[in-house]
Amino acid sequence: MPTKIVVLGAGIIGISSALAIQEAFDKDVQVTIIAENVSPNTTSDVAAGLIEPAEGKRAKEWGRLTINRIKEYINEGNLGAGEISGYWMQSKQEHPEWLDLMKNVRVLSNSEVTEIAKRPQHKFGLFYTTWYLEPTRYIDYCTKKIMENGAKIIQRKIENIDELGNDFDVIVNCTGLGSRVLFNDETIRPCRGQIVRVSCPQVRHFFMDDDYYTLINDNCLILGRTKDMDCWDLTIDKKSADKIIEGNCINIPSLSNAKIVSHNVGLRPWRTSVKLEKEIGKNNTPIIHNYGHGGNGISLHWGCALEVAQLVKSILV
């Protein structure tokens, strides 16, 4: 009889964890996903999808594995992913470890900084090539795979972990901010992010600085950013939207001709570090936590999913 595993959460972290478990065990497990929201209505769907792994050795490895996964996804001919090159203008010179995973990394010369800078704080700069992954298309791709493999998806809000009873052999928690209530983790906090999606075909490079970014997807640009800690408000704030547009237009003047496609808000599940570990819950049911990725969920998702699958193996084998 297959081992019954429940994954709580259907954003990119939950869906990819479910798929990695299935691929690790073939038909030896029955995966059920329970989530209040499913794509295209998850936090992941709001994300711009720029691949920019977090700091730290563990995160860098998760990022490396995720980039390999994205390359495979692209090589299959899927839409919603690709390489993009651009500029990161800095007020303080930074060269984080994860840049080792990028391509064509180059420190801008003083003359290039002078040419490209649009603000007094643009004192240093990098040019590099990374990848983007459009979450909604990718989640749909993964969801089709897990359903073909026999998974069940139940759209339901779990108010208390005791609601699961003894129905499952392993619980995988990918609820993000939901872990505040389900697992009493007050260290995870909302970081509100508001973006504007626009159409402006003449923009060919991404552009980031301390306060703003213009990122590239298949058919649009994503303008940001806001980082409002401990804010649960999901309504569109016009002042923030205007500031985002005006700030990015300074960096890239041609954006003044952009056509607005949509406004979106999401709550990043911010934590000082990702919680990816196992514990024993009530009734001796093993629980694997995989949450707290902040704004790096897209960049780290597959590396984390593979680690979840290994933790499940350590429990069952």
Residue numbering of the annotated binding site for FAD:
43-44, 48-50, 175
C-alpha torsion 189→242→235→17, nearest 10: -50
Token pair for 11: 């954003």
Task: Provide the annotated binding site.
Answer: 43-44, 48-50, 175, 213, 268, 295
Q: Which residues pair with 288 in a beta bridge?
A: 172, 278
- In angstroms, rounded to a whole number, what is the distance separating the alpha carbons of residues 205 and 104? 14
- In angstroms, rounded to a whole number, what is the distance separating the alpha carbons of residues 187 and 8? 19
Task: Provide the annotated binding site for D-dopa.
Answer: 213, 268, 295
At 174 the three-state DSSP class reads coil
DSSP state of 242: H
Strands (E), the chain: 3-8, 29-35, 81-90, 103-107, 124-133, 152-155, 170-173, 189-199, 206-208, 213-216, 221-224, 228-229, 259-270, 275-280, 286-291
Q: With CA atoms as reference, report the closest residue to 177 among 230, 214, 137, 247.
A: 230
Residue 144 burial by Cβ neighbours in a 10 Å radius (0-12, 13-18, 19+) = exposed
- In angstroms, rounded to a whole number, what is the distance separating the alpha carbons of residues 118 and 116? 6
DSSP state of 50: B
Q: With CA atoms as reference, report the closest residue to 5 among 312, 317, 314.
A: 312
Task: Using the structure block, give the residue that is written with the tokens 């339901």.
Answer: 156
Q: Are strands 170-173 and 3-8 parallel, antiparallel or unpaired?
A: parallel
Q: With CA atoms as reference, report the closest residue to 294 among 159, 149, 192.
A: 192
